[in-house]
Amino acid sequence: MTPLPADRTCPVDLDFAEPHPAQLDLDVIVRRGKTIRRRRRIAGAGAALVACAAAASIVVGVRGASFRWFPPSPPARPAPAIPAKPIDAQVAGNPPVTGKLTLLSSFPPRWTTVAWATRRGDVCWASYRTPMNGATEDYDCPWSGADVPGPGRQGLSIPLVSPFTGSGDLPGQAGSERVPAFGLVSSRATRVTLTFFGKSFSAAVVPVPLGKGQTVGVYLVWLRVPASASGFGSSDFSGATAYDAAGRIVARHGPWS
């Protein structure tokens, strides 16, 4: 633990004695874990349809294109006998505020990454492979509405680095591992540059609708982890800079140490 000045020590002992030691039920945990796995696989299979919808954008090279997933509001009429498939469990549990997902990246080949803002104000991303080939999708809803850059708030979130499930699909892995980093940025930004293990990596910013005509910039930067690194994490970033279309700096963070 980093030594703290006396006035920054905790006045209570959080490592207090516990009269009843924790004893979790491993069988229950494993059963629930298997259920989650099964749901993810089912959801991943259904994600193929979404990938088809995204394919048009990929073919014409349009990043930031959006495609409809759910209607913006529930339909007044009864649901059709055969419901629209797939319903990714994560997306279904966090419905997009506009009913649409925004294409964030179509790299590596056969993988699609989308982002969306939920009706609760969170911002989420999801990656999936088509066809699945045993891979499950990755997803996370790491940002709440309070993390969205805006007046009086930071203009650029701290990048969140995520291990990539489909590393076998990544080209040029020899000698270094590629990992994605996600983050939010002011909607004025068009490009973000991250410094990771001392090297710079850039990506375009994709505007994601927040509803009511507002957007937030979301970025996905593919990083390279040096072969010499024994691990990686957010602490390996030393800076992040966001630029607008004219090349002016919109926001800058770091260096972090």
Partner 1 sequence: MVRQAEKDEFASFVAASQARMVRLALLLTGDRSRAEDLAQDGYAKAYASWDRIRGGDPGAYVRRCIVNANTDWWRRRTWREQPRPLVPDQPGRGDMAGDMAARDMVLRALARLTRRERTVLALRFYLDLTEFQIAHELGIAPGTVKSTVARGLSKLRADAELRAEATS
Query: Which residues sit at the interface with partner 1, rule CB under 8 A?
Result: 1-2, 7-8, 10-26, 28-30, 32-37, 40, 120, 136, 142-144, 147, 154, 157-158, 160, 163, 165, 231, 233-235, 253, 256-257
The answer to whether 192 and 185 have CB atoms below 8 angstroms apart is yes
- Cα angle at 232 between 134 and 183, to 5 degrees? 80
Residue 225: count other Cβ atoms within 10 Å of its Cβ: 17
Contacts of 154 (CB under 8 A, 6+ apart): 251, 253
Query: Min. distance of Cβ 165 from partner 1 in angstroms?
Result: 6
CB 219 within 8 A of CB 187: no
Report, in Å, the least distance between residue 242 CB and partner 1.
15
Contact call for residues 223 and 206 (beta carbons, < 8 A): no
Nearer to partner 1, 146 or 246 (CB): 146
Q: How far is CA 256 from the centre of its chain?
A: 21
Our CB check for partner 1 shows the closer of 30 and 56 to be 30
Smallest gap from residue 108 Cβ to partner 1 (A):
16
With respect to partner 1, which residue has the nearer C-beta, 37 or 199?
37
Measured from the CB atom, is 134 or 245 closer to partner 1?
Answer: 134
Least distance in Å: CB of 29 to partner 1?
A: 5
Instruction: Tell the smallest beta-carbon distance from residue 51 to partner 1 (Å).
Output: 21
Judged by CB, which is closer to partner 1: 109, or 163?
163
- d(CA 105, CA 63) in angstroms, rounded, equals 7
Shortest gap between Cβ of 62 and partner 1 (angstroms)? 28
Nearer to partner 1, 133 or 144 (CB): 144
Give CA separation, 44 vs 1, 30, 87, 110, 161, in Å: 41, 21, 9, 13, 22
